[in-house]
Copies of this chain bind each other. A is one copy, B any other.
């Protein structure tokens, strides 16, 4: 790692803690620079502007770290259910182990403008693609239901995990996030599981049919 990369990471780390501490909008570039032990102007040699720092922070985390880790983890697994389990476990451990990071991804990154969120899409898309790949694999193998699209399944899985992490962050971490793994996994597995081997699914029929009225 050359000098440039070192300073780059230095700024990113400083930004991480400053954003987490005081929120994105109230954090000033000057404070980040001070924390990084460099001059204000130096920040602009590595990042084009304040939003760029947040974008890079997000991308570095989701696209360049979390996603590869999750991909690697899932790659060697055959059973789609186990893939899902490992994915859930990894997600909750990843954020549960780094509160500062969680706070930024869950709270501060959402304080950014539409444009910046747009710029974050590529990062999150890689993660989404992985989720959808797990689903698709499960559907092909007949383990996961086909009456729910990849996309919807992904939204349920990611939305659930996201909400669980956000609640944990906002709860001031009164419990370890990892303790939620099994429970969340159970819910998500059955959400996408293929129950077609069971005859008569009154619970999959249209609601009206089992209406008590």
Contacts and interface: CB of A to CB of B under 8 A. Distances in A.
Interface of A: 23, 25-26, 77-79, 81-82, 85-86, 107, 110-114, 117, 145, 147-149, 152-153, 155-156, 158-164, 167, 170, 180, 182-193, 195, 198, 203-204, 206-207, 210-213
Contact of A156 (B110, B145, B163): B163
A1 B27 CA distance: 35
B79 A152 contact: no
A186 B193 CA distance: 11
Nearest to A149: B183
User: Which of A82, A158, A190, A198 has the most C-beta atoms of chain B within 10 angstroms of its own C-beta?
Assistant: A190
23 contacts: A25-B111, A25-B113, A77-B211, A79-B207, A79-B212, A81-B210, A110-B111, A111-B113, A117-B170, A148-B186, A149-B183, A152-B164, A152-B183, A152-B184, A155-B160, A156-B187, A159-B160, A185-B207, A189-B203, A189-B204, A190-B190, A191-B191, A193-B203
Report the 8 A-B pairs with minimum CB-CB distance, sorted nearest first. Answer: A159-B163, A191-B191, A85-B207, A110-B110, A78-B212, A159-B159, A156-B160, A187-B191
Given A114-B23, A114-B107, A155 B164 contact: yes
Contact of A190 (B117, B160, B180, B193): B193
B163 A211 contact: no
Contact of A186 (B77, B184, B198, B204): B204
A114 B185 CA distance: 29
User: Which of A187, A192, A210, A211 has the most C-beta atoms of chain B within 10 angstroms of its own C-beta?
Assistant: A187
A192 B187 CA distance: 6
A149 B206 CA distance: 26
Contacts of A149: 183
A147 B170 CA distance: 24
A163 B158 contact: yes
Contacts of A163: 155-156, 158-160, 162
